[in-house]
Amino acid sequence: MNPIIKLSDNAASRIKEIMSNAETKAIGVRVSVKSGGCAGMSYVMEYSKEVNPNDEVIEDKGVKVYIDSAAVMYLLGTEMDYKKEDFSSSFVFNNPNETERCGCGESFKV
């Protein structure tokens, strides 16, 4: 079975970096989706301090990513990348399920 999310090397390195600087008792990062944005859905990334019973746990390249159970169907087959540009850096979700994405890249539709 394919993992729900695959991490690029850049994404895994950045998550390790974020986790090493986390002052909280975070155990990993959580990825979920929420309604909102011009295309309907937005990706949400935050520290995870505990495992929710329904979470899907992805371990890839030495990093743990917790996926909210409600987000699984939207994220199947997604690659999570981290892009660094001159004036900004961000996590990028390359999601094969997207049918539409807003111009600013903040939201999507499946």
pLDDT tens-digit profile of 24-58?
Answer: 788 889 999 888 767 678 888 888 888 888 999 99
Whether the full predicted model's pTM is greater than 0.85, yes or no, is no
Q: Are 108 and 100 in contact (CB under 8 A)?
A: yes
| pLDDT value, residue 35 | 83
Choices 3.40.50.1970, 2.60.300.12, 1.10.10.10, 3.40.640.10: CATH for 5-109? 2.60.300.12
Region class of 69: left (phi > 0), else alpha (psi between -120 and 50), else beta: alpha
| Residue 10 pLDDT > 70 | yes
**Would you place residue 65 in the very low, low, confident or very high pLDDT band (cuts 50, 70, 90)?**
very high
* Averaged pLDDT for residues 71-82: 91
Look at residues 67, 69, 64, 89 and name the one whose alpha carbon lies nearest to residue 78.
67
Residues 6+ apart with CB under 8 A from 71: 31, 32, 33
